[in-house]
Structure formats: structure tokens, C-alpha cells
């Protein structure tokens, strides 16, 4: 991972959406010992101070037996913090001291008493406090990647199944184990990246690796309140003549055919599955991924979802009409090219009336 923050700053809209979601949540933040005296950690501490201002309840854990150096840094940053004198391996009394400090609206600063970012005492304390996040600030750019590409988010249950060139596999396994211990989301972050906490927490994709047990990413049916968001999302492609123009009434009339892909409940993509039961066919339409989320496999996920839906409907053929995504359907999704005569007659008529030069790409399902 790069040591400088991404060119883009956290989206203001995303920040506003996350603030109420984070309020009163406990974040356990584990710091590797080599980061304690780094200049980059000061940025992270200042960001934690801001998080506390908006209602987050952080707990700072440092690797090793002594938290006093980290505590002094929090004092220089004028954070509302308090030192826990004994390390977590001291047991229940230490955990009670952490609770007491949290209860008076201060940030507990405590040593783990162990080496590593996922020692049993730190993970157990995070779970016993009901932490919604366990954030590991790592030294030496140890954020995992798969075949040279960053792993932005992965379900705990999928970690063991990862195949390919996976870097820092042990950390990924430890994060998954922490999820199984009862922590919903575990973040692996490059502690040397300035602004890493803000970029990770206030954007849908983040800049590290998140291992999670909850529904961070899902494909669900469209709701009526989603229609304005969907229309604004696809507007660019409509203007560029890549998608058919649709208005609110068009989508509302066929709402049961639309599905959206969400990250943390924010819509980032969509697809429609229009059935033609008399002809045992279904059309894959309105496939779109927001520009800043392209290249992450979401289009493929929506196409595979549409295929499964068509199969569940008992269809024998799924097709897509496109004049701009020929390469995608033919070469990436391996849809075969068909003549227009393969279309249901009513769909062929509307296509011809539209005057569009779309090709037909499809898959036989049976």
C-alpha cells in the first residue's frame, strides 16, 4: 500500500451518512509498537479525537507491556484520554478499569501485555465491550492483497477459501478469527498512511482490508424510496446513450424487476431482470456500476445474480442488449452473440422501434 493518502478526499456525503451510524459505537484501535513514535501516528490520534467528538467511543491498545509512551502522545494531542496502568493480561480488573474510563467519556489507553495485533486479551476485551470495530494499525505496509490487488473487504467465511497469491495471510486469518470471536468488523490498516482512519471509515471502499461478518455488501430488491437514487446514478450513461432513458414511473411500474448492490446500505450498482415467461427467456438490463466503484468485480457479481434469478424463474435463456458493452458481455462474461430473431417477439418490436443498433448477447441456461 502507498504511504501517502489517495488523491481523493473522503466524500462529504459519505461522512454525513456515517456520523449517526458511528455514534455511541466502541472502536478498539490496536497500535503496533514501532508506530508509537512515528509522525504518522499523530495524524491517527488527531483523527480519533475527532471521532470522539462525533460520538465514537475509542479504546487505544498498544502492543507490549507499557502504554505510557502512547498515553503521552495523546496528551500532547490534547485528547480526553486516561492511562490504564496495568496491561490487559492483568485480567478482569483491568477490563473493569477500561469500562470505568469509557463510562466517563475518556479514551482508555492500555497495553496488551503481548506481541502481535490480535493477542487473545485484546480481542477478548474488544468483544466484552461490545466493540463494533477492531482496527489494527500496522507497521511496514502489511495490508493484505490478492494477486497484486488490494483486498478491500471480505467475509470472514471466505478468508479460508482464498486462492492465489495472498500476502500477509497470517494477519488475514487472525482478523477472521477475531470476527468468529464476536467482533463484526475488523480493519487491517497501514499505520504509516496519513489520514488512514478517515479514508477507511468514511468511504464505502476504504483504503485497507476489512474482514466482516455482517452484510457490508449485498444485492437486494429495489425499494420505492431507492428510485430517485437509481435515476441519479444512471443519468450519466443515459446522457451518453449507453442506457435506455427511464423515468420514475417507468421504474416504479416494473420495480419487482430491479435489484441494487449496496455497500454499507449505500447503492453503488444496479441490474434489472425482465422475464418473458411465454418464451422461457429473461433480459438482463439496466446494468450499471457507479464510476468510482468500477473495476472491483461488482458488475460480474450483478450479472451472476441476474443469471441465478433467471434460473430460479425457470428460464432457459438470458440475454442482454448492448451497443457499448460488447467487449464486456462477449469477452468478460462469455455471453455468445445471437441474432435478433432469438429475442421474444415483443422485445424485438420495441428494439426495432427504438432505432438502437444494439447487439444481442446471451447464455443458454438449460
Co-location of 95 and 20 in the same domain: yes
Output the CA torsion 307→309→315→320 (10° steps): -40
Domain boundaries, position 58? 12-214
pLDDT reported for residue 153: 86
Residue 54 falls inside a structural domain: yes
Co-location of 124 and 256 in the same domain: no
**CATH at residue 81:** 3.40.1160.10
pLDDT-derived band at 224, boundaries 50, 70, 90: very high
Residue 195 falls inside a structural domain: yes
Residue 25 falls inside a structural domain: yes
pLDDT reported for residue 14: 57
Q: What is the pLDDT of residues 159-212, one digit of tens each?
A: 998 888 999 999 999 999 999 999 999 999 999 998 898 888 887 678 899 999
pLDDT reported for residue 244: 65
Co-location of 28 and 168 in the same domain: yes
pTM score, whole prediction: 0.68
**CATH at residue 296:** 3.40.630.30
Of 154, 180, 214, the position where a domain reaches its end is 214
Percent of the chain past pLDDT 70, that is, above it, reads 92
Co-location of 196 and 309 in the same domain: no
Cell of 272: 434489472
Residue 1 falls inside a structural domain: no
Of 157, 189, 214, the position where a domain reaches its end is 214
Amino acid at each position: 500500500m502507498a504511504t501517502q493518502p489517495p488523491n481523493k478526499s473522503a466524500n462529504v456525503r459519505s461522512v454525513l451518512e456515517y456520523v449517526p451510524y458511528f455514534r455511541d459505537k466502541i472502536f478498539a484501535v490496536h497500535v503496533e509498537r514501532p508506530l508509537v513514535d512515528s509522525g504518522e501516528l499523530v495524524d491517527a490520534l488527531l483523527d480519533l479525537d475527532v471521532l470522539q467528538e462525533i460520538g465514537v467511543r475509542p479504546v487505544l491498545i498498544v502492543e507490549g507491556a507499557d502504554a505510557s509512551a502512547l498515553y503521552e502522545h495523546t496528551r500532547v494531542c490534547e485528547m480526553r484520554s486516561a492511562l490504564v496502568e496495568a496491561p490487559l493480561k492483568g485480567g478482569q480488573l483491568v477490563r473493569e478499569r477500561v469500562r470505568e474510563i469509557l463510562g466517563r467519556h475518556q479514551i482508555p489507553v492500555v497495553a496488551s501485555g503481548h506481541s502481535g495485533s490480535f493477542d487473545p486479551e485484546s480481542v477478548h476485551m474488544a468483544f466484552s465491550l461490545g466493540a463494533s470495530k477492531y482496527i489494527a494499525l500496522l507497521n511496514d505496509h502489511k495490508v493484505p492483497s490478492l494477486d497484486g490487488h488490494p483486498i478491500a473487504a471480505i467475509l470472514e467465511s471466505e478468508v479460508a477459501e482464498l486462492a492465489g497469491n495472498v500476502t500477509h495471510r497470517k494477519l488475514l486469518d487472525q482478523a477472521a478469527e477475531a470476527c468468529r470471536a464476536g467482533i463484526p468488523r475488523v480493519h487491517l490498516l497501514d499505520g504509516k498512511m496519513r489520514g488512514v482512519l478517515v479514508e477507511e471509515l468514511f468511504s464505502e471502499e476504504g483504503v485497507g482490508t476489512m474482514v466482516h461478518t455482517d452484510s457490508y455488501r449485498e444485492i437486494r430488491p429495489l425499494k420505492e424510496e431507492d428510485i430517485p437514487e437509481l435515476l441519479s446514478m444512471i443519468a450519466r450513461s443515459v446522457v451518453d446513450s449507453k442506457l435506455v432513458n427511464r423515468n420514475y414511473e417507468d421504474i416504479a411500474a416494473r420495480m419487482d424487476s430491479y435489484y441494487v448492490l449496496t455497500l454499507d446500505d449505500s447503492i453503488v450498482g444496479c441490474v434489472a431482470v425482465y422475464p418473458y415467461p411465454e418464451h422461457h427467456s429473461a433480459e438482463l438490463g439496466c446494468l450499471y456500476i457507479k464510476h468510482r466503484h468500477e473495476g472491483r468485480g461488482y458488475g460480474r457479481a450483478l450479472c451472476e445474480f441476474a443469471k441465478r434469478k433467471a434460473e430460479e424463474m425457470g428460464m432457459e435463456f438470458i440475454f442482454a442488449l448492448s451497443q457499448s458493452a460488447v467487449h464486456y458481455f462477449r469477452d468478460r462474461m462469455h455471453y455468445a452473440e445471437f441474432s435478433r430473431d432469438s429475442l421474444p417477439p415483443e422485445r424485438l418490436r420495441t428494439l426495432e422501434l427504438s432505432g438502437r443498433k444494439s447487439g444481442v448477447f446471451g447464455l443458454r441456461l438449460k
